[in-house]
Structure 1
Protein backbone atom coordinates (compact mmCIF):
# COMPACT_ATOMS: atom_id res chain seq x y z
CA UNK A 1 0.00 0.00 0.00
CA UNK A 2 1.25 3.44 -0.95
CA UNK A 3 1.12 6.06 1.78
CA UNK A 4 1.04 9.77 1.03
CA UNK A 5 2.60 11.82 3.78
CA UNK A 6 1.69 15.49 4.21
CA UNK A 7 4.40 17.95 3.33
CA UNK A 8 5.07 20.21 6.27
CA UNK A 9 6.26 23.74 5.63
CA UNK A 10 9.05 25.05 7.81
CA UNK A 11 8.04 27.57 10.45
CA UNK A 12 10.08 30.27 8.75
CA UNK A 13 7.93 29.96 5.60
CA UNK A 14 4.71 30.13 7.61
CA UNK A 15 5.93 33.22 9.44
CA UNK A 16 6.92 34.86 6.16
CA UNK A 17 3.41 34.29 4.79
CA UNK A 18 1.91 35.88 7.89
CA UNK A 19 4.19 38.88 7.55
CA UNK A 20 3.32 39.22 3.85
CA UNK A 21 -0.40 39.06 4.64
CA UNK A 22 0.03 41.69 7.34
CA UNK A 23 1.95 44.00 5.00
CA UNK A 24 -0.71 43.66 2.31
CA UNK A 25 -3.38 44.50 4.86
CA UNK A 26 -1.46 47.59 5.97
CA UNK A 27 -1.02 48.67 2.36
CA UNK A 28 -4.75 48.27 1.76
CA UNK A 29 -5.50 50.40 4.82
CA UNK A 30 -3.05 53.11 3.77
CA UNK A 31 -4.53 53.14 0.27
CA UNK A 32 -7.83 54.34 1.69
CA UNK A 33 -6.33 56.63 4.29
CA UNK A 34 -8.20 59.89 4.85
CA UNK A 35 -6.89 63.23 3.64
CA UNK A 36 -5.91 65.86 6.18
CA UNK A 37 -8.67 67.55 8.19
CA UNK A 38 -7.74 70.85 6.53
CA UNK A 39 -8.28 69.52 3.01
CA UNK A 40 -11.48 67.73 3.95
CA UNK A 41 -12.78 70.92 5.55
CA UNK A 42 -11.98 72.84 2.35
CA UNK A 43 -13.94 70.34 0.26
CA UNK A 44 -16.92 70.50 2.63
CA UNK A 45 -16.89 74.31 2.53
CA UNK A 46 -16.83 74.14 -1.27
CA UNK A 47 -19.79 71.75 -1.19
CA UNK A 48 -21.86 73.95 1.10
CA UNK A 49 -20.95 77.22 -0.64
CA UNK A 50 -22.05 75.91 -4.04
CA UNK A 51 -25.36 74.33 -3.03
CA UNK A 52 -23.95 70.82 -3.11
CA UNK A 53 -27.26 69.14 -2.33
CA UNK A 54 -28.55 70.42 -5.66
CA UNK A 55 -25.63 69.12 -7.72
CA UNK A 56 -26.47 66.56 -10.38
CA UNK A 57 -24.16 64.12 -8.64
CA UNK A 58 -23.79 64.94 -4.95
CA UNK A 59 -21.37 63.82 -2.27
CA UNK A 60 -22.05 61.67 0.76
CA UNK A 61 -20.29 64.06 3.11
CA UNK A 62 -20.57 61.56 5.97
CA UNK A 63 -18.33 59.15 4.08
CA UNK A 64 -14.62 59.21 3.25
CA UNK A 65 -13.30 61.81 0.83
CA UNK A 66 -12.01 59.00 -1.38
CA UNK A 67 -15.63 58.28 -2.31
CA UNK A 68 -16.48 61.87 -3.28
CA UNK A 69 -17.53 61.99 -6.91
CA UNK A 70 -14.98 63.74 -9.13
CA UNK A 71 -12.27 63.97 -6.46
CA UNK A 72 -8.90 62.29 -7.01
CA UNK A 73 -6.63 61.49 -4.07
CA UNK A 74 -2.95 60.61 -4.24
CA UNK A 75 -0.67 60.20 -1.24
CA UNK A 76 -3.40 61.54 1.04
CA UNK A 77 -3.64 64.76 -0.97
CA UNK A 78 -6.43 66.08 -3.17
CA UNK A 79 -4.82 66.27 -6.62
CA UNK A 80 -7.89 66.46 -8.83
CA UNK A 81 -11.40 67.93 -8.86
CA UNK A 82 -13.38 67.21 -12.01
CA UNK A 83 -17.05 68.18 -11.80
CA UNK A 84 -18.09 69.35 -15.27
CA UNK A 85 -21.76 69.99 -16.02
CA UNK A 86 -22.79 69.28 -12.43
CA UNK A 87 -25.15 72.19 -11.63
CA UNK A 88 -22.61 73.86 -9.34
CA UNK A 89 -23.72 77.40 -8.52
CA UNK A 90 -22.67 80.39 -6.44
CA UNK A 91 -19.50 82.46 -6.23
CA UNK A 92 -16.25 80.87 -7.29
CA UNK A 93 -15.12 79.27 -4.00
CA UNK A 94 -11.81 80.73 -2.90
CA UNK A 95 -11.51 77.90 -0.39
CA UNK A 96 -10.41 75.62 -3.25
CA UNK A 97 -7.14 77.53 -3.41
CA UNK A 98 -6.22 75.90 -0.09
CA UNK A 99 -5.85 72.58 -1.91
CA UNK A 100 -2.27 73.31 -2.87
CA UNK A 101 -1.58 69.85 -4.34
CA UNK A 102 -4.28 70.24 -7.00
CA UNK A 103 -3.10 69.30 -10.48
CA UNK A 104 -6.50 69.37 -12.20
CA UNK A 105 -9.44 71.70 -11.57
CA UNK A 106 -12.28 71.15 -14.01
CA UNK A 107 -15.55 72.98 -13.33
CA UNK A 108 -16.60 73.27 -16.98
CA UNK A 109 -20.20 74.21 -17.79
CA UNK A 110 -21.59 75.09 -14.38
CA UNK A 111 -23.14 78.25 -12.95
CA UNK A 112 -20.27 79.82 -11.03
CA UNK A 113 -20.04 83.60 -10.78
CA UNK A 114 -17.67 86.10 -9.18
CA UNK A 115 -14.02 86.61 -10.00
CA UNK A 116 -10.90 84.50 -9.83
CA UNK A 117 -9.21 85.26 -6.49
CA UNK A 118 -5.62 86.38 -6.20
CA UNK A 119 -5.04 83.30 -4.05
CA UNK A 120 -5.38 81.10 -7.14
CA UNK A 121 -1.63 81.64 -7.34
CA UNK A 122 -1.35 79.21 -4.40
CA UNK A 123 -2.11 76.30 -6.73
CA UNK A 124 1.46 75.96 -7.92
CA UNK A 125 1.05 72.27 -8.81
CA UNK A 126 -1.86 72.97 -11.14
CA UNK A 127 -1.50 71.59 -14.68
CA UNK A 128 -5.04 71.81 -16.04
CA UNK A 129 -7.51 74.61 -15.28
CA UNK A 130 -10.94 74.62 -16.93
CA UNK A 131 -13.70 76.90 -15.64
CA UNK A 132 -15.23 77.54 -19.05
CA UNK A 133 -18.97 78.03 -19.66
CA UNK A 134 -19.66 79.75 -16.35
CA UNK A 135 -20.44 83.34 -15.35
CA UNK A 136 -17.07 84.52 -14.11
CA UNK A 137 -16.44 88.26 -14.08
CA UNK A 138 -13.51 90.49 -13.23
CA UNK A 139 -9.97 90.38 -14.54
CA UNK A 140 -7.31 87.73 -14.84
CA UNK A 141 -5.27 88.03 -11.63
CA UNK A 142 -1.56 88.70 -12.03
CA UNK A 143 -0.98 85.84 -9.60
CA UNK A 144 -1.66 83.32 -12.38
CA UNK A 145 2.03 83.85 -13.16
CA UNK A 146 2.77 81.59 -10.18
CA UNK A 147 1.10 78.63 -11.90
CA UNK A 148 4.33 77.68 -13.63
CA UNK A 149 3.30 74.03 -14.10
CA UNK A 150 0.15 74.99 -15.98
CA UNK A 151 -0.28 73.24 -19.34
CA UNK A 152 -3.87 74.18 -20.12
CA UNK A 153 -5.89 77.26 -19.14
CA UNK A 154 -9.46 77.25 -20.43
CA UNK A 155 -11.67 80.12 -19.27
CA UNK A 156 -13.77 80.64 -22.39
CA UNK A 157 -17.48 81.54 -22.43
CA UNK A 158 -17.43 83.74 -19.33
CA UNK A 159 -17.68 87.50 -18.73
CA UNK A 160 -14.04 88.25 -17.99
CA UNK A 161 -12.82 91.81 -18.57
CA UNK A 162 -9.53 93.68 -18.62
CA UNK A 163 -6.39 92.66 -20.45
CA UNK A 164 -4.12 89.64 -20.47
CA UNK A 165 -1.43 90.39 -17.86
CA UNK A 166 2.13 90.50 -19.16
CA UNK A 167 3.09 88.06 -16.42
CA UNK A 168 1.48 85.31 -18.48
CA UNK A 169 4.86 84.97 -20.16
CA UNK A 170 6.05 83.08 -17.09
CA UNK A 171 3.83 80.09 -17.91
CA UNK A 172 6.49 78.38 -19.99
CA UNK A 173 4.74 74.99 -20.02
CA UNK A 174 1.43 76.33 -21.32
CA UNK A 175 0.12 74.44 -24.36
CA UNK A 176 -3.50 75.57 -24.46
CA UNK A 177 -4.73 79.12 -23.82
CA UNK A 178 -8.45 79.37 -24.56
CA UNK A 179 -10.11 82.64 -23.54
CA UNK A 180 -12.62 83.11 -26.35
CA UNK A 181 -16.09 84.60 -25.85
CA UNK A 182 -15.30 86.98 -23.01
CA UNK A 183 -14.99 90.77 -22.88
CA UNK A 184 -11.22 90.95 -22.68
CA UNK A 185 -9.52 93.95 -24.28
CA UNK A 186 -6.26 95.74 -24.94
CA UNK A 187 -3.22 94.68 -26.91
CA UNK A 188 -1.70 91.23 -26.62
CA UNK A 189 1.35 91.45 -24.34
CA UNK A 190 4.63 90.75 -26.11
CA UNK A 191 5.37 88.19 -23.39
CA UNK A 192 2.63 86.02 -24.90
CA UNK A 193 4.91 85.29 -27.85
CA UNK A 194 7.43 83.72 -25.48
CA UNK A 195 5.10 80.78 -24.76
CA UNK A 196 6.88 78.52 -27.21
CA UNK A 197 5.01 75.36 -26.13
CA UNK A 198 1.62 76.77 -27.14
CA UNK A 199 -0.38 74.51 -29.44
CA UNK A 200 -3.77 76.17 -29.04
CA UNK A 201 -4.32 79.94 -28.84
CA UNK A 202 -8.02 80.79 -28.96
CA UNK A 203 -8.91 84.42 -28.21
CA UNK A 204 -11.90 84.90 -30.52
CA UNK A 205 -14.94 87.06 -29.76
CA UNK A 206 -13.31 89.53 -27.38
CA UNK A 207 -12.33 93.18 -27.74
CA UNK A 208 -8.60 92.80 -28.29
CA UNK A 209 -6.96 95.55 -30.32
CA UNK A 210 -3.60 96.69 -31.64
CA UNK A 211 -1.28 94.90 -34.01
CA UNK A 212 -0.36 91.25 -34.19
CA UNK A 213 3.40 91.05 -33.72
CA UNK A 214 5.81 89.40 -36.14
CA UNK A 215 7.04 87.58 -33.03
CA UNK A 216 4.15 85.19 -33.52
CA UNK A 217 6.67 83.15 -35.51
CA UNK A 218 8.12 82.09 -32.13
CA UNK A 219 5.04 79.94 -31.52
CA UNK A 220 6.38 77.13 -33.66
CA UNK A 221 4.25 74.42 -31.99
CA UNK A 222 1.00 76.26 -32.70
CA UNK A 223 -1.71 74.09 -34.28
CA UNK A 224 -4.78 76.26 -33.74
CA UNK A 225 -4.79 80.07 -33.94
CA UNK A 226 -8.19 81.70 -33.51
CA UNK A 227 -8.44 85.49 -33.18
CA UNK A 228 -11.81 85.79 -34.93
CA UNK A 229 -14.03 88.78 -34.14
CA UNK A 230 -11.76 91.26 -32.37
CA UNK A 231 -10.39 94.70 -33.26
CA UNK A 232 -6.88 93.89 -34.45
CA UNK A 233 -5.45 96.31 -37.01
CA UNK A 234 -2.52 96.60 -39.40
CA UNK A 235 -0.84 94.09 -41.66
CA UNK A 236 -1.42 90.40 -41.05
CA UNK A 237 2.09 89.15 -40.20
CA UNK A 238 3.49 87.01 -43.01
CA UNK A 239 5.38 85.18 -40.27
CA UNK A 240 2.19 83.15 -39.72
CA UNK A 241 3.22 81.19 -42.82
CA UNK A 242 6.28 79.97 -40.92
CA UNK A 243 4.08 78.09 -38.45
CA UNK A 244 4.45 74.69 -40.08
CA UNK A 245 2.31 72.85 -37.51
CA UNK A 246 -0.66 75.19 -37.97
CA UNK A 247 -3.79 73.23 -38.86
CA UNK A 248 -6.57 75.68 -38.03
CA UNK A 249 -6.49 79.44 -38.62
CA UNK A 250 -9.27 81.94 -38.05
CA UNK A 251 -8.36 85.61 -37.84
CA UNK A 252 -11.24 87.03 -39.87
CA UNK A 253 -13.67 89.75 -38.78
CA UNK A 254 -10.97 92.03 -37.45
CA UNK A 255 -9.70 95.27 -38.98
CA UNK A 256 -6.54 93.94 -40.54
CA UNK A 257 -5.44 95.66 -43.75
CA UNK A 258 -2.80 95.18 -46.43
CA UNK A 259 -2.00 92.22 -48.63
CA UNK A 260 -1.92 88.53 -47.83
CA UNK A 261 -0.69 85.44 -49.60
CA UNK A 262 -3.00 82.91 -51.18
CA UNK A 263 -1.61 80.21 -48.89
CA UNK A 264 -2.54 82.21 -45.81
CA UNK A 265 -6.01 83.11 -47.10
CA UNK A 266 -6.79 79.52 -48.01
CA UNK A 267 -5.99 78.39 -44.47
CA UNK A 268 -8.31 80.91 -42.85
CA UNK A 269 -11.83 79.63 -42.13
CA UNK A 270 -13.40 82.76 -43.66
CA UNK A 271 -10.65 83.48 -46.21
CA UNK A 272 -9.45 86.61 -44.43
CA UNK A 273 -12.76 88.47 -44.39
CA UNK A 274 -12.35 91.71 -42.43
CA UNK A 275 -14.50 94.65 -41.38
CA UNK A 276 -13.88 98.08 -42.86
CA UNK A 277 -14.44 101.44 -41.13
CA UNK A 278 -18.15 101.20 -41.91
CA UNK A 279 -18.45 97.75 -40.42
CA UNK A 280 -18.85 96.13 -43.83
CA UNK A 281 -17.27 92.77 -44.61
CA UNK A 282 -14.38 92.96 -47.07
CA UNK A 283 -11.79 90.41 -48.13
CA UNK A 284 -8.12 91.26 -48.00
CA UNK A 285 -6.37 91.37 -51.35
CA UNK A 286 -4.05 88.58 -52.40
CA UNK A 287 -0.47 89.01 -53.44
CA UNK A 288 0.74 86.28 -55.76
CA UNK A 289 4.14 85.04 -54.71
CA UNK A 290 4.95 84.17 -58.29
CA UNK A 291 3.83 87.26 -60.20
CA UNK A 292 3.37 89.98 -57.63
CA UNK A 293 -0.15 90.46 -58.98
CA UNK A 294 -2.92 91.53 -56.66
CA UNK A 295 -6.24 89.70 -56.53
CA UNK A 296 -9.06 88.76 -54.18
CA UNK A 297 -9.94 85.38 -52.67
CA UNK A 298 -12.47 83.32 -54.60
Structure 2
Protein backbone atom coordinates (compact mmCIF):
# COMPACT_ATOMS: atom_id res chain seq x y z
CA UNK A 1 0.00 0.00 0.00
CA UNK A 2 3.05 2.30 -0.27
CA UNK A 3 2.15 5.66 -1.80
CA UNK A 4 5.28 7.80 -1.32
CA UNK A 5 8.86 6.64 -1.94
CA UNK A 6 11.61 9.18 -1.23
CA UNK A 7 15.28 8.14 -1.29
CA UNK A 8 16.74 11.40 -2.63
CA UNK A 9 20.32 12.55 -1.99
CA UNK A 10 21.94 9.34 -0.89
CA UNK A 11 24.76 7.19 -2.27
CA UNK A 12 22.60 4.55 -3.89
CA UNK A 13 24.20 2.73 -6.83
CA UNK A 14 23.05 0.05 -9.24
CA UNK A 15 19.84 -0.32 -11.20
CA UNK A 16 16.31 0.73 -10.30
CA UNK A 17 14.72 -2.68 -9.58
CA UNK A 18 12.03 -3.79 -12.00
CA UNK A 19 9.95 -4.91 -9.03
CA UNK A 20 9.14 -1.27 -8.37
CA UNK A 21 6.21 -1.82 -10.73
CA UNK A 22 4.67 -4.16 -8.11
CA UNK A 23 4.03 -1.14 -5.87
CA UNK A 24 0.73 -0.46 -7.62
CA UNK A 25 -0.41 2.29 -5.21
CA UNK A 26 2.66 4.50 -5.60
CA UNK A 27 1.84 8.15 -6.23
CA UNK A 28 5.31 9.71 -5.96
CA UNK A 29 8.83 8.37 -6.65
CA UNK A 30 11.83 10.48 -5.64
CA UNK A 31 15.22 8.91 -6.43
CA UNK A 32 17.11 12.06 -7.44
CA UNK A 33 20.75 12.80 -6.57
CA UNK A 34 22.05 9.26 -6.31
CA UNK A 35 24.33 7.20 -8.58
CA UNK A 36 21.70 5.01 -10.16
CA UNK A 37 22.56 3.63 -13.59
CA UNK A 38 20.95 1.48 -16.25
CA UNK A 39 17.64 2.09 -17.97
CA UNK A 40 14.41 3.29 -16.46
CA UNK A 41 12.34 0.16 -15.76
CA UNK A 42 9.48 -0.25 -18.20
CA UNK A 43 7.14 -1.20 -15.38
CA UNK A 44 7.16 2.35 -13.99
CA UNK A 45 4.84 3.25 -16.83
CA UNK A 46 2.28 0.78 -15.48
CA UNK A 47 1.85 2.64 -12.18
CA UNK A 48 -1.56 4.14 -12.85
CA UNK A 49 -1.64 6.30 -9.69
CA UNK A 50 1.77 7.89 -10.20
CA UNK A 51 1.67 11.71 -10.19
CA UNK A 52 5.40 12.46 -9.79
CA UNK A 53 8.54 10.72 -11.09
CA UNK A 54 11.79 12.40 -10.06
CA UNK A 55 14.96 10.64 -11.25
CA UNK A 56 17.21 13.67 -11.74
CA UNK A 57 20.97 13.76 -11.15
CA UNK A 58 21.76 10.11 -11.71
CA UNK A 59 23.61 8.07 -14.34
CA UNK A 60 20.60 6.64 -16.13
CA UNK A 61 20.84 5.92 -19.83
CA UNK A 62 18.73 4.50 -22.63
CA UNK A 63 15.89 5.67 -24.84
CA UNK A 64 12.84 6.85 -22.91
CA UNK A 65 10.66 6.00 -25.89
CA UNK A 66 11.33 2.32 -25.26
CA UNK A 67 11.30 2.42 -21.44
CA UNK A 68 8.45 4.73 -20.45
CA UNK A 69 4.86 3.91 -21.32
CA UNK A 70 3.36 7.21 -22.44
CA UNK A 71 -0.15 6.42 -21.33
CA UNK A 72 -0.89 7.92 -17.94
CA UNK A 73 -3.48 10.56 -17.19
CA UNK A 74 -2.28 10.79 -13.58
CA UNK A 75 1.36 11.87 -14.16
CA UNK A 76 1.89 15.58 -13.50
CA UNK A 77 5.62 15.92 -12.81
CA UNK A 78 8.31 14.18 -14.87
CA UNK A 79 11.87 15.16 -13.90
CA UNK A 80 14.68 13.30 -15.69
CA UNK A 81 17.32 16.05 -15.88
CA UNK A 82 21.06 15.45 -15.53
CA UNK A 83 21.26 11.89 -16.81
CA UNK A 84 22.56 10.25 -19.99
CA UNK A 85 19.25 9.59 -21.71
CA UNK A 86 19.24 9.44 -25.50
CA UNK A 87 16.97 9.18 -28.52
CA UNK A 88 14.33 11.53 -29.87
CA UNK A 89 11.50 12.94 -27.81
CA UNK A 90 8.39 10.83 -28.40
CA UNK A 91 5.73 12.52 -30.50
CA UNK A 92 3.03 11.30 -28.09
CA UNK A 93 4.61 12.68 -24.92
CA UNK A 94 1.78 15.20 -24.45
CA UNK A 95 -1.05 12.96 -25.55
CA UNK A 96 0.28 10.22 -23.28
CA UNK A 97 0.63 12.58 -20.29
CA UNK A 98 -2.29 15.01 -20.82
CA UNK A 99 -2.11 16.43 -17.28
CA UNK A 100 1.64 17.06 -17.23
CA UNK A 101 2.54 20.28 -15.38
CA UNK A 102 6.34 19.98 -15.22
CA UNK A 103 8.73 18.42 -17.73
CA UNK A 104 12.48 18.46 -16.94
CA UNK A 105 14.63 16.79 -19.59
CA UNK A 106 17.63 19.13 -19.45
CA UNK A 107 21.28 18.00 -19.49
CA UNK A 108 20.80 14.73 -21.36
CA UNK A 109 21.72 13.67 -24.89
CA UNK A 110 18.38 13.83 -26.68
CA UNK A 111 18.65 14.28 -30.44
CA UNK A 112 16.40 14.85 -33.43
CA UNK A 113 14.12 17.86 -33.59
CA UNK A 114 12.11 19.26 -30.74
CA UNK A 115 8.63 17.99 -31.70
CA UNK A 116 5.81 20.39 -32.49
CA UNK A 117 3.20 18.65 -30.36
CA UNK A 118 2.85 21.01 -27.42
CA UNK A 119 -0.79 21.97 -28.03
CA UNK A 120 -1.72 18.73 -26.27
CA UNK A 121 0.13 19.70 -23.05
CA UNK A 122 -2.62 22.05 -21.97
CA UNK A 123 -1.66 21.95 -18.27
CA UNK A 124 2.10 22.45 -18.71
CA UNK A 125 3.61 25.15 -16.49
CA UNK A 126 7.35 24.40 -16.55
CA UNK A 127 9.24 23.19 -19.65
CA UNK A 128 13.03 22.73 -19.45
CA UNK A 129 14.83 21.06 -22.36
CA UNK A 130 18.18 22.84 -22.18
CA UNK A 131 21.62 21.36 -22.87
CA UNK A 132 20.74 18.51 -25.18
CA UNK A 133 21.91 17.57 -28.65
CA UNK A 134 18.86 18.43 -30.71
CA UNK A 135 19.17 18.95 -34.46
CA UNK A 136 19.17 22.50 -35.74
CA UNK A 137 15.65 23.77 -35.93
CA UNK A 138 13.23 26.46 -34.85
CA UNK A 139 11.50 26.94 -31.54
CA UNK A 140 8.24 24.98 -32.02
CA UNK A 141 5.49 27.49 -32.65
CA UNK A 142 3.00 25.32 -30.76
CA UNK A 143 4.67 26.26 -27.47
CA UNK A 144 2.69 29.48 -27.91
CA UNK A 145 -0.47 27.46 -27.20
CA UNK A 146 0.63 26.68 -23.64
CA UNK A 147 -1.53 29.24 -21.92
CA UNK A 148 -0.46 28.16 -18.41
CA UNK A 149 3.29 28.13 -19.09
CA UNK A 150 5.38 29.96 -16.49
CA UNK A 151 8.96 28.78 -17.07
CA UNK A 152 10.56 28.11 -20.47
CA UNK A 153 14.23 27.10 -20.61
CA UNK A 154 15.74 26.18 -23.99
CA UNK A 155 19.43 27.26 -23.84
CA UNK A 156 22.16 25.35 -25.72
CA UNK A 157 19.82 23.43 -28.01
CA UNK A 158 21.08 24.34 -31.52
CA UNK A 159 17.95 26.40 -32.10
CA UNK A 160 17.83 28.83 -35.02
CA UNK A 161 15.41 31.26 -36.62
CA UNK A 162 13.16 33.76 -34.88
CA UNK A 163 11.22 33.51 -31.64
CA UNK A 164 7.58 32.65 -32.50
CA UNK A 165 5.51 35.76 -31.92
CA UNK A 166 2.89 33.61 -30.17
CA UNK A 167 5.21 33.20 -27.18
CA UNK A 168 4.81 36.86 -26.33
CA UNK A 169 1.07 36.31 -25.81
CA UNK A 170 1.47 33.85 -22.92
CA UNK A 171 0.53 36.16 -20.07
CA UNK A 172 1.56 33.62 -17.40
CA UNK A 173 5.26 33.52 -18.46
CA UNK A 174 7.74 34.45 -15.75
CA UNK A 175 11.11 33.09 -16.91
CA UNK A 176 12.40 32.82 -20.50
CA UNK A 177 15.92 31.56 -21.23
CA UNK A 178 17.12 31.06 -24.82
CA UNK A 179 20.86 31.56 -24.22
CA UNK A 180 23.57 30.04 -26.44
CA UNK A 181 21.59 29.18 -29.56
CA UNK A 182 21.63 30.53 -33.11
CA UNK A 183 18.43 32.54 -32.87
CA UNK A 184 18.01 35.75 -34.87
CA UNK A 185 15.50 38.39 -35.86
CA UNK A 186 14.16 41.36 -33.93
CA UNK A 187 12.34 41.52 -30.63
CA UNK A 188 8.68 42.65 -30.93
CA UNK A 189 8.31 46.41 -30.27
CA UNK A 190 5.57 45.85 -27.67
CA UNK A 191 6.91 42.61 -26.20
CA UNK A 192 6.09 43.53 -22.61
CA UNK A 193 2.44 44.42 -23.08
CA UNK A 194 1.39 40.76 -22.88
CA UNK A 195 3.98 39.62 -20.32
CA UNK A 196 3.02 41.37 -17.07
CA UNK A 197 4.63 38.69 -14.87
CA UNK A 198 7.96 38.39 -16.71
CA UNK A 199 10.85 38.28 -14.24
CA UNK A 200 13.71 36.77 -16.26
CA UNK A 201 14.36 37.31 -19.97
CA UNK A 202 17.76 36.19 -21.21
CA UNK A 203 18.79 35.61 -24.84
CA UNK A 204 22.57 35.90 -24.52
CA UNK A 205 24.95 34.52 -27.18
CA UNK A 206 22.59 34.54 -30.16
CA UNK A 207 22.26 36.61 -33.34
CA UNK A 208 19.41 38.99 -32.56
CA UNK A 209 19.52 42.41 -34.20
CA UNK A 210 17.62 45.64 -34.58
CA UNK A 211 16.86 47.99 -31.72
CA UNK A 212 16.25 47.05 -28.12
CA UNK A 213 12.50 47.64 -27.67
CA UNK A 214 11.73 50.61 -25.44
CA UNK A 215 8.72 48.69 -24.17
CA UNK A 216 11.06 46.57 -22.03
CA UNK A 217 10.78 49.46 -19.61
CA UNK A 218 7.16 48.39 -19.10
CA UNK A 219 8.22 44.98 -17.75
CA UNK A 220 7.83 46.19 -14.20
CA UNK A 221 8.36 42.72 -12.68
CA UNK A 222 11.67 42.16 -14.48
CA UNK A 223 14.55 41.05 -12.25
CA UNK A 224 17.07 39.82 -14.82
CA UNK A 225 17.64 40.94 -18.40
CA UNK A 226 20.39 39.30 -20.48
CA UNK A 227 20.92 40.68 -23.99
CA UNK A 228 24.71 40.59 -24.37
CA UNK A 229 26.58 38.93 -27.24
CA UNK A 230 24.00 39.76 -29.90
CA UNK A 231 23.87 42.32 -32.72
CA UNK A 232 21.54 45.00 -31.41
CA UNK A 233 22.00 48.41 -33.03
CA UNK A 234 20.80 52.00 -32.72
CA UNK A 235 20.48 54.27 -29.76
CA UNK A 236 20.39 52.22 -26.58
CA UNK A 237 16.88 52.03 -25.18
CA UNK A 238 16.14 53.33 -21.71
CA UNK A 239 15.53 50.29 -19.59
CA UNK A 240 14.08 50.29 -16.12
CA UNK A 241 14.53 47.18 -14.02
CA UNK A 242 12.62 47.04 -10.78
CA UNK A 243 14.00 44.87 -7.97
CA UNK A 244 11.68 43.59 -5.33
What SS does the corresponding residue of 1:112 show, helix, strand or coil? Answer: strand
The TM-score, its normalising length taken from structure 2, stands at: 0.80
Tell me the equivalent position of 2:218. 242
- Aligned equivalents of 1:164 and 1:69: distance in 2? 31
Tell me the equivalent position of 2:61. 89
- Aligned equivalents of 1:76 and 1:254: distance in 2? 47
Q: Which runs of 4+ in 1 moved over 3 A?
A: 65-69, 261-264
Once the 2 structures are TM-superposed, how far is the Cα of residue 61 of structure 1 from its aligned partner?
Answer: 1.1
Once the 2 structures are TM-superposed, how far is the Cα of residue 145 of structure 1 from its aligned partner?
Answer: 1.6
Unmatched 5+ residue regions in structure 2?
4-12, 32-43
- Aligned equivalents of 1:108 and 1:226: distance in 2? 21
Once the 2 structures are TM-superposed, how far is the Cα of residue 130 of structure 1 from its aligned partner?
Answer: 0.3
Inter-CA distance 192–263: structure 2 relative to 1 (3 Å threshold): closer
CA contact (8 A) 1:85 1:110 kept: yes
Deviation digits for residues 59-94 of structure 1 (CA, Å, limit 9, x no counterpart): 36165245685389xx95121110001211012335
Inter-CA distance 65–83: structure 2 relative to 1 (3 Å threshold): farther
Aligned residues: 214
Tell me the equivalent position of 2:30. 70
The TM-score, its normalising length taken from structure 1, stands at: 0.66
For the pair shown, which has the larger CA radius of gyration, 1 or 2? 1
Tell me the equivalent position of 1:61. 19
Deviation digits for residues 217-253 of structure 1 (CA, Å, limit 9, x no counterpart): 1211100001000011111111111000000010110
1:115 to 88, 96, 106: 88
Q: Which structure dedicates a bigger proportion of its chain to helix?
A: 1
Once the 2 structures are TM-superposed, how far is the Cα of residue 205 of structure 1 from its aligned partner?
Answer: 0.3
Tell me the equivalent position of 2:99. 125
In the alignment, structure 1 residue 142 sits paired with structure 2 residue 116: yes
1:185 to 160, 165, 168: 160
Q: Relative contact order (C-alpha < 8 Å, sep 6+): which is higher? A: 2
- Aligned equivalents of 1:69 and 1:124: distance in 2? 19
Query: In angstroms, what is the RMSD of aligned CA positions?
Result: 2.6
> Which 10-residue stretch deviates more, 190-199 or 61-70?
61-70
